[in-house]
Chain A
Amino acid sequence: MGRFVVRRLVSMVLVLFAISVMTFLIFQAIPNGDPAQRLAGRTATPETIAAIRRTWGFDRPIYDQYLLTMRNVLTGRVISYTQQVNVERQIADGLPATLSLAIGAAVIWFALGVALGLLGAMRAGGAVDRALTALAMLGVSMPVFLIGALLLYLLAYRMGLFPNGGYVPLSRDPAGWLSHMILPWFTLSALFIGIYSRVLRSSVLDTLGEDYVRTARAKGLSEWRVLIRHVLRNSLIPVVALWGLDFAAVIGGGAILTESVFNLHGVGQYAAQSIGALDVPPVLVIVMLGSFFVVLLSTAMDIVVAVLDPRIKLAS
């Protein structure tokens, strides 16, 4: 286990390094993307642009610029091109909204996904199962920004049941926080509920065919008891693994569309704005943060799965 974790951590550092280089290069390739020209503003003279290039180090070789930026990233001193503010502080400001969205939605999609999946498995082939299948199919076939926009229109704009986007800190106004978060939670969850319920349903049906379940049944245990004690425990493994990864991705700016539609000012929306403004430093930091969470939680989930399921060994 110890060696497994160490190896994963080493590979994580490599992945983060490669991702930062990749991000840096993607934005270097843009013609007229010279940030000095943008910072200088319209009608700026070539001298002004040259001065800015010198101050910001844009005249240095690219590897030098990369190293400079990375040093600032690691010491928490990286400054954005637009508005020239501390990027890490901006991200820290956006985290409460992103965490609220991620945690709330993750709880909802896990709970509903498991409940509906179990229901579907219990009623496999019946009308309820069919209805759930249809809903799940619809959930995975709708773009998240379309769901979000239509919910906002219907429930917030038309019926006035919810506020029309925005974020209110939990510490300042718990009720306001809740009313602002409900629509984003369900928007982001729709897709996952569809997936999780189907994964759990198939996993439960798989497990029901296993020998130990038959043994448990033969011992005369009640159907619910068999389901909860023996089946669910094993069936949850793939769902838990999925859950960790999705959660990581949402925190790391993966909910960029949901945050943008609901104007949550989270990390994802900051990423979208920064990409639109070709503001490389924030994009770099957010992408690294997202990748960090993805790698970290995938490692953690591998361990969790190995602990839950004795048949799986931690190898490479």
Chain B
Amino acid sequence: MLNADLIIGIVSLVIAVTAWVPTRGLTLLGGVFVDYTLIVLASLSVVIVIKGIAKPEKLRFFESVVERNNILIGLAMLLVYLVFMPKVGFLPASYLMYAAFNWYLSEDRMKTKNIIISVLVSLVVVTGFYLVFRNVLGVPLPKGSWFD
């Protein structure tokens, strides 16, 4: 069980301090609004921390181990996609990401038919969007630094 208010308050305080340090050298015009915002942010954070200590509100973050694992796997897949997209290029990375998510969310993952469907749908959807964004909307999508 987590003390939600305490976590929110402490994280907000850390953010306020992190923003306070590099904004000390700003001019009056550039810094006045930042300063007011940081004062308000820090003050409210302290109120929330005090509330978290005085009247803690306990919350369960994940409802089950399965939910936690699903979320972590999903985030890991997204993370891998974002790390590799600029390196291998938009198209190959997106084919892999789309097919992987499609396969991961299918019910009978080990069936050959499902794997083939995931790959085919990935090819069609990603290529379709790639062509629309690149050729119609003129968005230059990453080519991949490994192939430059």
Chains A and B form a bound pair: no
Q: Which residues of A contact B (CB under 8 A)?
A: none
Q: Which residues of B contact A (CB under 8 A)?
A: none
